Amino acid sequence: MPSVAEEYHKGVEAMRGIHDQSVYFSGITATRNTDYLDTEHYTSFLRVQYNELARVRNTNGIGQYAKDVTGEPGAELLADYNAIQAQIDVICQMSHDNTPKEPGGVWAEVVQVNADGTWTRRSFTPTQTSSLRAEADILASLIPSYAFRQT
């Protein structure tokens, strides 16, 4: 059974990964509209990290350990996890709601084959992309500074 310290570090690694992927996603969407594949990769990664935080949060004593190891009596690991997980939910829901769909609500194919035989990758609109980028920026900003310190 992993120790509280090992579990804490797994949570820190999850938060760092969330930060890095959010900054990366924000960067690529700053230069072009995101498509379904970009967003699906990002949200899939977020869901894995969400589940890791959910697992780590159930470790007995994890909250107090975070306060002790960071030297910040105000470090509220579980509150940080709650905020991060809530923001992941927002991003995943936005992605789901804005994924291109066929009539009847079925998700559209990622690639649309045109009448002339050429194909086009379906993407989100500029407004949808901007909204997703803003939410990714919010998520990156939620990662507490103690997650970036070596302990």
Q: Which of the pair, 110 or 88, is modelled with greater confidence?
A: 88
**Has residue 150 got a pLDDT over 70?**
no
For 107-137, letters b (16+ CB in 10 Å) and e give: eeeeeeeeeeeeeeebbbeeebbebbbebbb
67-99 residue pLDDT tens: 888 887 777 889 999 999 999 999 999 998 888
The rounded mean pLDDT for the chain is 89
CA-CA distance, 119 to 115, in Å (whole number)?
Answer: 9
**Has residue 151 got a pLDDT over 60?**
no
**H or E segment at 90?**
helix 77-98
* Residues in CB range of 25: below 8 A, 6 or more apart: 34, 38, 42, 132, 133, 136
Q: Which residues pair with 101 in a beta bridge?
A: 107
**Has residue 2 got a pLDDT over 90?**
no
Q: Which of the pair, 39 or 106, is modelled with greater confidence?
A: 39
